[in-house]
Amino acid sequence: MTHAGDAVFSYHTDFSIVDATSRYQMLYKSNKTFDLFFKMRDTMYTYYNDANDLIYSEKYSDEGNYYTVDLMRFQKEDNITSIHSIHYKPSGKSVDTVLTVTENVADMLGVIFYMRGIDRKTLKNGDIIPITVVLGKDLTKTRFIYQEKAIIERNKVKYNTLYFKIDIVDEAFESTKTSAEAWIGDDDNMLPIKVRSKMKIGYVEVYYKSSSPLAHPLYCRIPPKK
Q: What pLDDT does 162 receive? A: 97
CA–CA dist 178, 118 (Å, integer): 20
Q: What pLDDT does 37 receive? A: 59
- The total number of structural domains that make up the chain: 1
Query: Taking the model in full, what pTM does it have?
Result: 0.80
Domain that holds residue 74: 3-222
Q: Return contacts of 24-27, CB within 8 angstroms, 24+ apart.
A: 24/48, 24/109, 24/110, 24/113, 25/109, 26/109, 26/206
Contact 211, 186 (CB under 8 A): no
Q: What pLDDT does 151 receive? A: 97
Hey, what's the torsion of the CAs at 202, 208, 209, 213, to 10 degrees? 160
Residue 112's H or E segment, with its range, is helix 110-114
- Give the number of other CB atoms < 10 A from CB of residue 129: 17
Contact 170, 140 (CB under 8 A): yes
Q: What pLDDT does 59 receive? A: 93
Q: What is the mean pLDDT of each run of 10 residues along the chain (226 residues)?
A: 70 89 84 60 90 92 85 92 94 94 90 86 93 88 93 93 85 60 94 83 78 86 86
CA nearest to 24, candidates 94, 108, 90: 108
- Give the number of other CB atoms < 10 A from CB of residue 132: 18
Q: What pLDDT does 176 receive? A: 55
